[in-house]
Every structure is written in structure tokens, then in C-alpha cells.
């Protein structure tokens, strides 16, 4: 893939991570734009029209999913890859439904991100040939909580009520990293 004069937008509230990715993309010939929140990112997309955008899922203010939806509705939307340290099947499916090409867990490197961008959207990713292993109970709980939270559009109080949990208990569960399996 030739990256000469290719524009990419990096959207992440973690400045150190964003700067590291920006440096790596710049070394590969990309023109890099950065934003720390969804509103700034949308302004850059409208003004600079980058071909690609790497979008963090969780940021202060509007979420990455809201940014994906807004950007997908523009006349010339960038090809978008969503990154997150809080991945779940529900949010991955929602990101793809809203217009993202792919969804990657953090920490992601430039090679993994470029590989996600090169995936042909007309050809779905083939499932691995290995046997299916059921997720652990902790992982199933994590995915269920994120699915309900997504259904409640990020409203913690409403999600806690639907889950039968106290709001603070739900917030503590959400602050933990997702189980590995």
C-alpha cells in the first residue's frame, strides 16, 4: 500500500498513545491529523477530508460510535477503524453497523491498523479454522453489560436499572479491563 500524500486522522483522548501512532504513521509517509475528542475530529474530517480515520471508542464527551455515525453520514466519509481497550462483541457489531470498516483492541500497532484498512469490505473475514471455545463466565458478563450499556446509549443509570445493579457497582465493573477469554 502506498501511503504517499495519504491523509489519516487519529482520534484518541490518550495523548501519548495518539502521538506515538502519529509518529509511526508519519514515518510511513502519511499526512497525520490528530484530535482528542469527537467534536474536534468531526471538524477535521469536514475541513481536511482524510481518507482514513482511527477512532478510539471511549472518549470524554461523545463516544467513538457517535463519531463513526456522524462521519459516515458525510458526503465523503473516511474509511474508519475503531480502537478500544474495552472491547465487546456488541460494540464491535455496532461500530461496523454504523459505518466502521473494522474494530481492533488496544494496544494496536501501525501494521495491525494498516492491515485492518486493507481488508475488503465486500469479503467478510473468514472465521478461524480452530475449534470454538466458549467464553468464560466473566467474559460473558462483560459482553452482556456492554450490550445493555450500548442499548441504553451509554446511560449508566438506565443500564444499571436494567441489569438490576446499583449504579456505582456498574461503574466499578466498567472500569475494569475486560477478561481475556
Q: Please list the pLDDT of the chain residue by residue as tens digits (181 residues).
A: 444 448 999 999 888 889 999 999 999 899 999 999 999 999 999 999 999 999 998 888 898 899 999 999 999 899 999 987 766 777 778 888 898 998 888 778 888 899 888 875 554 444 444 554 666 788 778 878 887 887 888 899 999 999 999 999 988 888 877 776 6
Inter-residue contact 110 to 21 (CB < 8 Å):
yes
CATH class (in words) of the domain with range 137-175: mainly alpha
Directed axis angle between helix 137-151 and helix 89-98, to 10°? 40
Q: Answer whether 0.75 is exceeded by the pTM.
A: no
Q: In CATH terms, is domain 6-118 a member of 3.40.50.720?
A: no
SS3 content of the chain, % helix, strand, coil (to 5): 45, 15, 40
pLDDT at residue 2, as a whole number: 44
Inter-residue contact 29 to 64 (CB < 8 Å):
no
CATH 1.10.10.60 placement within the chain: 137-175
pLDDT at residue 4, as a whole number: 40
CATH 3.40.50.2300 placement within the chain: 6-118
Amino acid at each position: 500500500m502506498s501511503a504517499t500524500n495519504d491523509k489519516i486522522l487519529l482520534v484518541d483522548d490518550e495523548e501519548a498513545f495518539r502521538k506515538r501512532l502519529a509518529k509511526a504513521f508519519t514515518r510511513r509517509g502519511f499526512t497525520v491529523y490528530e484530535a482528542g475528542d469527537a467534536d474536534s475530529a468531526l471538524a477535521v474530517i469536514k475541513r481536511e477530508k482524510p481518507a482514513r480515520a482511527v477512532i478510539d471508542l471511549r472518549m470524554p464527551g461523545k463516544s467513538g460510535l457517535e463519531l463513526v455515525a456522524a462521519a459516515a453520514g458525510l458526503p465523503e466519509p473516511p474509511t474508519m477503524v475503531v480502537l478500544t481497550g474495552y472491547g465487546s462483541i456488541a460494540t464491535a457489531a455496532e461500530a461496523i453497523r454504523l459505518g466502521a470498516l473494522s474494530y481492533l483492541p488496544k494496544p494496536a500497532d501501525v501494521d495491525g491498523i494498516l492491515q485492518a484498512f486493507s481488508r475488503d469490505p465486500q469479503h467478510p473475514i473468514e472465521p478461524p479454522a480452530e475449534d470454538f471455545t466458549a467464553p468464560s463466565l466473566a467474559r460473558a458478563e462483560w459482553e452482556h453489560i456492554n450490550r445493555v450499556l450500548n442499548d441504553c446509549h451509554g446511560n449508566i443509570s438506565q443500564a444499571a436499572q436494567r441489569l438490576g445493579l446499583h449504579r456505582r457497582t456498574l461503574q466499578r465493573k466498567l472500569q475494569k479491563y475486560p477478561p481475556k477469554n
